[in-house]
C-alpha cells in the first residue's frame, strides 16, 4: 500500500464507501447514526480476523508484510459481512457483526439523548464506539465474560479517544453498578431473557436482543414485567456464554424435515422459538395452519412467573413456555 499516508487514504476511502453503501441499502436512515458510522472507522476495531478455508482458517491482519494480503484484509473489513475475530480451539467466540445489521439494530434501539445504555457482548468495541459517538461515553457500558475480549475492546476504543465503562463479567447478570438503564442492546444469541435485566431498567426501557433467529424488542413495564414483538429482521450471533447460556444442541435442526422447510427462514425461526414446547411435527402443522407466519407476528413476555413466546396475542391461544422441554407428542 506504500507509505503510511497512502495507506491512511485508502482506508478512509474504503470507510466512506461503506457508509455510502449502507445508506443506499436503506440500513442507515437516521442522520445521527449516519454521522456515527461516518466518524467511527471499522478497521480500528478489526486489526485481524479469520476467514474459513475448508476445515481450516486463514488469518488476515493489518500489518501483514505482504501488500496483497493487507489489501485483502482491508477489503474484508469494509465488506458488509460479519468477521470472525477470535477463535478458541477452532470455535468462534467473538466476531465483528455485519455492519448493516448493526445499523438496523442501533436504529431499532430507538435511543434518545441522555439515555443510559448497556451493551451485552463487548466484541471488538465497534458497537460501543458508535454508541459513544451518539450518546457520549459516560452513558455507555459494555460487558463481556472474557477478559481478553474486554481488554482488546478497551484498547480499540481508546485509540479513538473513547472511554466508556468496559466491564468483565457475566452479561446475564447485567451491570447493577451502572444501572438504571434506558436501553439494553444484546449482541449474542439468547435462549431466554435474563430476568435480572428488568430490575436494572427504568420503566419504559427498551431491550433489543437476538432470540431464536430473530430480534425481540421488549418494553420494560417495571422490574417484574417486559413484553414485546420480534422485528422482521433475521439475526444470527454467537451464543451468550454465562449463567443463561443455551444448552448444547439448542439450536440444532431436527432430522427428517423436508428440505424446503429446513431452508425456510420463517419456519426455522418458529421451530427454534418453540423447540422447548412443541415437537417439530406440531410446529409444522401450526405454521401451515396459521398461514406461514412471519417473525413480526411472534412476541415474548418476561415476568416474575416465567417467560413465554406467543403468536399474535400474549393472552393466547398460542402461548409457549420458553426453555422448557417438550412433553410427549399429542
Active site (catalytic) residues: 94
The closest of 13, 25, 35, 15 to 78, measured between CA atoms, is: 15
Task: Give strand ranges (E) for 20-81.
Answer: 48-53, 56-61
Q: CB 165: neighbour CB atoms within 10 A?
A: 17
Q: Which residues of 131-154 are buried (b: 16+ CB within 10 A; e: fewer)?
A: bbbbbebebbbbbbbbeebbebbb
CA distances from 43 to 11, 160, 249 (A): 8, 11, 34
Report the distance separating Cα 248 and Cα 75, nearest Å. Answer: 35
Q: What is the DSSP letter of 243?
A: T
Place of cell 477478559: 147
Strands, sheet with 91-96, edge to edge from the N-terminal-most edge strand: 56-61, 48-53, 83-88, 91-96
Residues 14 and 108 sit within 8 Å (Cβ to Cβ):
no
Cβ proximity of 172 and 242 under 8 Å: yes
Amino acid at each position: 500500500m506504500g507509505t503510511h499516508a497512502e495507506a491512511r487514504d485508502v482506508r478512509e476511502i474504503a470507510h466512506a464507501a461503506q457508509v455510502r453503501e449502507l445508506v443506499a441499502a436503506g440500513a442507515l436512515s437516521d442522520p445521527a447514526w449516519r454521522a456515527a458510522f461516518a466518524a467511527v472507522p471499522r478497521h480500528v476495531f478489526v486489526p485481524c480476523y479469520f476467514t474459513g478455508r475448508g476445515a481450516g482458517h486463514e488469518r488476515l491482519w493489518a500489518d501483514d508484510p505482504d501488500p496483497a494480503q493487507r489489501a485483502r484484509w482491508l477489503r474484508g473489513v469494509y465488506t458488509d459481512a460479519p468477521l470472525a475475530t477470535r477463535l478458541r480451539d477452532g470455535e468462534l467466540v467473538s466476531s465483528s457483526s455485519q455492519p448493516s445489521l448493526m445499523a438496523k439494530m442501533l436504529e431499532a434501539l430507538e435511543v434518545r439523548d441522555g439515555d443510559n445504555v448497556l451493551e451485552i457482548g463487548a466484541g471488538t468495541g465497534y458497537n460501543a464506539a458508535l454508541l459513544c459517538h451518539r450518546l457520549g461515553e459516560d452513558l455507555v457500558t459494555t460487558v463481556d465474560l472474557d477478559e481478553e475480549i474486554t481488554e482488546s475492546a478497551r484498547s480499540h476504543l481508546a485509540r479513538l479517544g473513547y472511554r466508556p465503562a468496559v466491564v468483565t463479567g457475566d452479561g446475564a447478570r447485567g451491570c447493577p453498578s451502572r444501572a438504571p438503564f434506558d436501553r439494553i442492546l444484546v449482541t449474542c444469541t439468547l435462549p431466554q431473557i435474563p430476568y435480572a435485566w428488568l430490575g436494572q431498567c427504568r420503566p419504559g426501557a427498551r431491550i433489543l436482543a437476538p432470540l431464536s433467529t430473530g430480534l425481540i424488542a421488549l418494553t420494560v413495564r417495571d422490574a417484574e414485567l417486559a413484553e414485546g414483538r420480534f422485528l422482521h429482521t433475521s439475526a444470527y450471533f454467537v451464543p451468550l456464554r454465562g449463567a443463561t447460556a443455551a444448552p448444547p444442541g439448542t439450536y440444532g435442526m431436527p432430522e427428517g424435515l423436508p428440505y424446503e422447510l429446513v431452508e425456510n427462514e420463517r419456519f426455522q425461526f418458529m421451530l427454534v422459538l418453540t423447540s422447548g414446547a412443541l415437537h417439530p411435527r406440531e410446529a409444522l402443522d401450526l405454521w401451515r395452519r396459521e398461514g406461514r407466519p412471519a417473525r413480526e407476528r411472534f412476541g415474548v413476555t418476561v415476568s416474575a412467573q416465567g417467560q413465554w413466546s406467543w403468536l399474535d396475542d400474549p393472552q393466547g391461544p398460542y402461548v409457549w413456555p420458553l426453555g422448557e422441554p417438550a412433553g410427549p407428542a399429542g
